[in-house]
Structure 1
């Protein structure tokens, strides 16, 4: 297959992925509208992102504030209903840009970030949706609050910083079954009254849907390997 054919295939891959997601939801006894897809466009060239937009998708995940701004600011007004979500680690010195630019920030994982976001929300009068990221596998190389500390941190985000924590996000370990990790995140959400679960990627989204994911974050299965 030529490189041009590969680039143009992302729109078709997106449509196939949506069908797979709906099948996974049906297998879990859930309705087709009980979960949605975030297309992970981070580091991808515009030539593979645009076909997905043209196929009708409007929700995209980005890892870095600057990269996202460079990609989307020139075209943001061209695509009605576009929703941009920060799914990568956030540095406190980028909190102002993140609040101004993103619709959803999924990676609140420590006091410093929560405070910086709260300050910027107060200053700007703009309130993106916020999620807490949980390091569900307690892996040293990954960001996120530890599961044992999640209850206290969620409470602090709400009561001390005034953040409306609407979801939890996790990236489980690569090795082994993912179900127990998805189940643990669901339990944390349930006991803290959090209604949204962002979990599941290209190789495990069916399992995530079976455990109640409301959002799956898929890049490779749509855009190919970066």
Structure 2
């Protein structure tokens, strides 16, 4: 069943790429399978069906799975990260999507330095200014980007956003469109060391629109695994 759902999601991503009007139809999209509240057996099934990148929201859950998965994949932290969990996050994750403050950036940099790692990170933007979501506001983005770029043990690789959970998913489109414009402008900034290549946006309910509007990382859980196991 997971393999069938995965095939359907991949087909929808390809269809969405063909519908692009403002973005290259050939630009690649990486699918991150979000495994929050799904067990290692389900994760293995998805990986064996072709998934190469997985996303986790919670540090403790990821830590427990990391030692028993027995599969070689790229690990993404897509949930909010508390500074006191930075040490574990740096040890586990290849890419941290959710840097949203200078305080957090410095904590990650410090822990990465301790183990001799350059930690790839994205800066999370709260474009809709939702109080319930993490992320820096658009008007404060540049200053945080400059901080992250200057930290020696961080490598700034792009941006992430989460759209509001609208009943009418088309309402996400203007936000994704604006986020893509911010992404393009960010790519033009003459950073010291950053390589702005990732725009992480889109989840199970809105990933097709996100792809149409320029996402190149999408974070999909329920559409692959079915309802979460609580």
TM-score normalised over the length of structure 2: 0.88
Q: Distance in 1 between matches of 2:78 and 2:202?
A: 13
| CA positional deviation for 1:100 | 1.0
Q: Distance in 2 between matches of 1:159 and 1:68?
A: 29
**Structure 1 stretches of 4+ moved >4 Å:** none
CA contact (8 A) 1:10 1:49 kept: no
| CA positional deviation for 1:118 | 0.9
Q: Distance in 1 between matches of 2:68 and 2:202?
A: 30
Q: Could you give the per-residue CA deviations for residues 72-119 of structure 1, whole angstroms, max 9, x where no partner exists?
A: 2123xx323x11100001111111111111111000001111000111
Q: Distance in 1 between matches of 2:163 and 2:102?
A: 22
Q: Could you give the per-residue CA deviations for residues 40-75 of structure 1, whole angstroms, max 9, x where no partner exists?
A: 001112332221111121210001111101012123
Q: Describe the SS at the equivalent of 2:154.
A: coil
Q: Could you give the per-residue CA deviations for residues 3-35 of structure 1, whole angstroms, max 9, x where no partner exists?
A: xxxxxx11211111111111111222512x611
| CA positional deviation for 1:198 | 0.4
Pairwise CA RMSD:
1.6
CA contact (8 A) 2:97 2:160 kept: yes
| Match 1:203 to one of 202, 205, 213 | 205
Q: Describe the SS at the equivalent of 1:85.
A: strand
| Match 1:84 to one of 75, 93, 97 | 75
Matched with 2:25 is 30
| CA positional deviation for 1:160 | 5.1
Mind listing any 5+ residue stretches in structure 1 that lack a counterpart? 1-8
Decide whether aligned partners of structure 1 residues 14 and 179 sit closer, same or farther in structure 2, where only a CA change above 3 A counts.
same
Q: Distance in 2 between matches of 1:57 and 1:69?
A: 19
Mind listing any 5+ residue stretches in structure 2 that lack a counterpart? 188-195
| Match 1:145 to one of 124, 136, 140 | 136
Q: Describe the SS at the equivalent of 1:107.
A: strand
Matched with 2:64 is 70
Q: Describe the SS at the equivalent of 2:36.
A: coil
Equivalent pairs counted in the alignment come to: 214
CA contact (8 A) 1:114 1:161 kept: no
Moved more, 128-137 or 170-179: 170-179
Q: Distance in 2 between matches of 1:222 and 1:137?
A: 27
Matched with 2:190 is none
